[in-house]
Structure 1
Amino acid sequence: MKRTVIALSGLLYGLALAQAFPFTLEHEAGTLELAAPARRVVVLEYSFLDTLLALGVKPAGAAIGTQGGDRGPAPYLKPLLGGVNSIGSRAQPSLEAIVAAKPDLILADAFVHKDLIPQLQKVAPTAAFHSRRGSYDDLMQQVLDIGRALGKEQLARTLVADQASLLAKARSFANPRAGGLVAAVATPTSLTLHSSESFIGSLLERLGRKNLVKPQNGQSQFEVSLEGLVALNPPALVLFTAKDENPITRQWAKNPLWNNIEAVKRGRVWEFDRDLWTRSRGPLALKLIVAECIGSGLLADRTPSR
């Protein structure tokens, strides 16, 4: 009887899988059509890499190189990349390496790889998503779409449900009386604000911290000067920096204008690793980010420890 139940279960699973394919998906650069679940996937963004790994799939190739000044994947991803072939960097993927990987699916960024997509589509079926310019909702929808393309829809739904549950629990740590915040990437030469429609900006709002920055000219992320930051005068400031760089905010700290910002006067300036917080954007990264949101006192609006 037990064998019969197992056999029937396998048959029903097979029927469900058969019903899911052929698979069609409308994406940012057209329509993706797959006759069967993708098995050899090439990914050109870290969020797609994170998502595949969360789904238990090693990509056939990934843009994990450092060409063109790319910093490479965040540290949390590196131990998971054994056996994953580099096909160049996100900014400079190699078509030759992509062809050599023999993909049956390519995942590209609709903004970064816009000009490359027609060539990618000649190599293999290609789906383009707004990853770098996408919101939290966009990225969760991408988890579902990628899961369906891999024949792992149920696992993808579980991942998304787990993320929603995690965020709901994390919100209990948020201080409802906390003022708004500004979140920004600080490099040696610029400060780029992440609005309420960026991934990290929208995530912080879901966690109970109001983002004071709205999209500008249709851009979810945009640069601002010190004077522009002073004009916003946020009660809290969240900076995403790299440990091996000297961010522009170090220079600004010598300017009297910096000390007039409410967040600076209140001691509410947080710094986090930008490789994790703003470049990864997947289910694995999100768990780490939420843990840091709680542990750092950001959600509670507690003065960060130094």
Structure 2
Amino acid sequence: MTKKTISALLFLSLSASASALSVKHELGVLDIKAPAKRVVALEYSFLDTLLALGVRPVGAALGNQGGDRGAPPYLAPKVAGIPATGSRAQPSFETVAASRPDLILADALVHKDLYPQLSKLAPTAVFQSRRGSLDDLNAQTLAIGQLVGREAAAKRLLAEQVSLMSKAKAFAKKGAPSFVAAVVTPKTFTVHTNESFAGSFLEDLGRKNQLKLRGNETQYEISLEGLVALNPQTLVLFTAPDETPITEQWKKNPLWQKLSAVQRGRVYQFNRDNWTRGRGPLALKLMVAEAIESRFLQDAAPAGKYNY
């Protein structure tokens, strides 16, 4: 999907009539007779969006099979009692079918090959969630709103988001150096370009992402040597509180100490449960608040827990 402004997305029109809906998605066009009432969400962004719209799914990817981590903790109070239909990586067709859905929301990266099987269980819409930009996710909010009969609510969510981000952007220091942002696990350092969700979000708040789309990759892994070659003046790390990121090893290497971001004292860390896993309207409110509180937007030394 090509990049659009949020204001343009507010006027996105999907074909609909009083008795039927026709919505484009990554693998075609989904036609349903009426707004869905029983929805299964196979990705956290869909779960976040449905809950933000006031829709409680009948099943969701809440499991930890395949090395998944379950739903982000910020959603925990809202998902109690929702049946788990496996994990994102390994959805259970049996439990999805048992939920008797009239709509399944699936991810283009993870579930593309499963689309034929999912479509036999219920009408299925496939969106670019894991590898989507902020604009992609906003477009999905509108599409999901229409599919569940909450289009007006979806437009209100996006209007509120425009207002919130506009206020936050006022904190961004003009002329601040560009940044490199990455998800850091115990084994990998995956950079997020200006076409990733978190990477495009930070750009929309007024800071410049140093990395552009590489081929069709919105995110890709690099080594410490690769990071040194980029030599960012600002570094943003998305880490998990219960993991030891690979950067803890890198900090012992003299190359790490040579990074401009390290020397400037501009290495920020954020909880990736909030920043790169939810990717919906509820998560975005947390992200806006933390972008300001951390002092990242101001290009000031990281505050408290955000200092790495």
TM-score range, shorter chain: over 0.9
Match of 1:300 in 2: 298
Task: Read off the aligned partner of 2:147 and give its amino acid letter.
Answer: A
1:120 partnered with 2:118 = yes
Match of 2:53 in 1: 55
Match of 1:8 in 2: none
Provide the secondary structure at the position in 1 that maps to 2:235.
strand
Task: Select the residue among 192, 195, 203 that pairs with 1:194.
Answer: 192
Task: Read off the aligned partner of 1:212 and give its amino acid letter.
Answer: Q
1:188: Cα distance to partner? 0.7
1:65 partnered with 2:63 = yes
Provide the secondary structure at the position in 1 that maps to 2:22.
strand
For 1:163 and 1:126, the matched residues in 2 are separated by 27
Task: Read off the aligned partner of 1:190 and give its amino acid letter.
Answer: T
For 2:243 and 2:86, the matched residues in 1 are separated by 23
For 2:158 and 2:166, the matched residues in 1 are separated by 12
Match of 2:257 in 1: 259
Match of 1:165 in 2: 163
Task: Read off the aligned partner of 1:122 and give its amino acid letter.
Answer: K
Match of 2:20 in 1: 22
Is the Cα contact below 8 Å between 2:58 and 2:82 reproduced in 1?
Answer: yes
Match of 1:248 in 2: 246
Match of 2:35 in 1: 37
Provide the secondary structure at the position in 2 that maps to 1:31.
strand
- Aligned-residue CA RMSD in angstroms? 0.9
For 1:204 and 1:50, the matched residues in 2 are separated by 20
For 2:19 and 2:257, the matched residues in 1 are separated by 59
Match of 1:129 in 2: 127
Task: Select the residue among 71, 76, 79 that pairs with 1:78.
Answer: 76
**Which residues in structure 2 correspond to 1:227-242 (within 5 Å)?**
227-242=225-240
Task: Select the residue among 93, 97, 100 that pairs with 1:102.
Answer: 100
1:58: Cα distance to partner? 0.4
For 2:303 and 2:198, the matched residues in 1 are separated by 22
Match of 2:149 in 1: 151
TM (norm. structure 2) is 0.92
Instruction: Find the structure with the greater CA-based Rg.
Output: 1
The alignment of Structure 1 onto Structure 2 pairs a total of residues equal to 289
For 1:278 and 1:196, the matched residues in 2 are separated by 14
1:78: Cα distance to partner? 0.3
1:177: Cα distance to partner? 2.4
1:205 partnered with 2:197 = no
Provide the secondary structure at the position in 2 that maps to 1:169.
helix
Is the Cα contact below 8 Å between 2:191 and 2:219 reproduced in 1?
Answer: yes
For 1:63 and 1:75, the matched residues in 2 are separated by 14
Task: Read off the aligned partner of 1:88 and give its amino acid letter.
Answer: G
Q: Could you list the per-position Cα deviations for residues 202-223 of structure 1 after superposition, in whole angstroms to 9, with x for gaps in the alignment?
A: 0000001100011212100000
Q: Could you list the per-position Cα deviations for residues 174-230 of structure 1 after superposition, in whole angstroms to 9, with x for gaps in the alignment?
A: 001210000000111110000000000000000011000112121000000111101
Provide the secondary structure at the position in 2 that maps to 1:245.
coil
Task: Read off the aligned partner of 1:40 and give its amino acid letter.
Answer: R
1:250: Cα distance to partner? 0.6
For 1:21 and 1:166, the matched residues in 2 are separated by 35
For 1:212 and 1:72, the matched residues in 2 are separated by 31
For 1:169 and 1:128, the matched residues in 2 are separated by 33
Match of 2:283 in 1: 285
Match of 2:267 in 1: 269
Provide the secondary structure at the position in 2 that maps to 1:176.
coil
Match of 1:9 in 2: none
